[in-house]
Amino acid sequence: MPKLKTKKTLTKRIKVTKNGKIMKKQTRTGHLKSKWSASKKSRKNNMELQLNRGHIKVIKKLLARGGGKVK
């Protein structure tokens, strides 16, 4: 049975840290930000930790080869 290929779209959207934690971009950052304060824009610009265990299992499967480090 051949190895599963890594889903490239997922590799562009998440980052796996050295310790195996998954970081993802925050939601609601696309458009309509003119009303937001500068501090809110700055906060939303950072990546956040993915904590949902169900999502982590799915991400691990989709990463296939690179998902070995994911905790």
Check whether 38 has a pLDDT greater than 90: yes
Cα–Cα distance, 10 to 58 (Å, whole number): 11
Residue 64 lies in a domain: yes
Domain residues for the domain of 49 are: 8-27+39-69
CA atoms within 13 A on the CB side of 37: 3
For residues 2-24, give the mean pLDDT.
Answer: 87
For residues 7-16, give the mean pLDDT.
Answer: 88
Residue 2 lies in a domain: no
Check whether 36 has a pLDDT greater than 90: yes
**Number of domains present in the structure of the chain:** 1
C-alpha angle 22-28-32 in degrees, rounded to nearest 5: 150
- DSSP label at residue 36: S
Residue 54 lies in a domain: yes
Residue 67: pLDDT band by 50, 70, 90 thresholds?
low
Residue 8: pLDDT band by 50, 70, 90 thresholds?
confident
Task: Please state the separation of Cα 55 from the chain's center in Å.
Answer: 10
47 pairs with which residues across the strands?
25
Residue 51 lies in a domain: yes
